[in-house]
Structure 1
Amino acid sequence: MSGSEPFTYRVTKAGDVLISRGGRLVTTLRGSAAARLAARLGDDEASDQALLQRATGNYRRGNER
C-alpha cells in the first residue's frame, strides 16, 4: 500500500465494522467476522492497516502500487 490514503474503520453499536478508504466505504463486515476483526484492531497503526487490507480482499497479492 502506498500509505497516502490509509484505511479507516468504524465499529457500529450493532457490532458491524465499516471499512473505508479515501472517504468511500469499501466493505462492511457483520457477525462473527466483524467481532473477530474488532477484537484484533487497536494495537498499532501498522497492524491495523494490514488487518483492514486483508479484510477488504483486494490487497492480498502484494503487487499493488
Structure 2
Amino acid sequence: MSNIDKRNRLSEEVFTYKTTKDNKVFIYWMGKQVTILTGKASDKFLRAIDGKDHKEAQLVMAKITGNFKHGNEKDNK
C-alpha cells in the first residue's frame, strides 16, 4: 500500500461516509459530499469496507469516488 499512498494522505481521515435507513451511502471528501451510492453499489461498498482497518477503508472510498478532482476547483477561503 505504500506505493499507492506516497503522500500518506490516507492515514488522515480525508474520506468519510454516512449510511441512511434506506441503505443509501453518502461519501464525503474533506466534509464535502462527492458521491451517493444506492442499490447494488451501496451493498458492494458496505461489504468492501466491512472488517477493514482505517487506511484500507480510506483506499476503498478513494477508489469508489474515482477521479473527481481535476485541479480547477475553487478554494472557498
TM-score, normalized by length of structure 1? Answer: 0.77
Unaligned runs of 5+ residues in structure 1 are 60-65
Name the residue aligned to 2:28: 20
| Separation in structure 1 between the aligned mates of residue 56 and residue 21 of structure 2, nearest angstrom | 23
How many positions carry a matched residue from both structures? 59
Name the residue aligned to 1:40: 48
Q: Which stretches of structure 1, 4 residues or more, deviate above 6 A after TM superposition? A: none
Unaligned runs of 5+ residues in structure 2 are 69-77
What's the % identity of the aligned pairs? 32
Name the residue aligned to 1:10: 18
Q: Determine which structure has more spread, i.e. the larger CA radius of gyration.
A: 2
Name the residue aligned to 1:51: 60
Superposition RMSD in Å = 1.9
TM-score, normalized by length of structure 2? Answer: 0.66
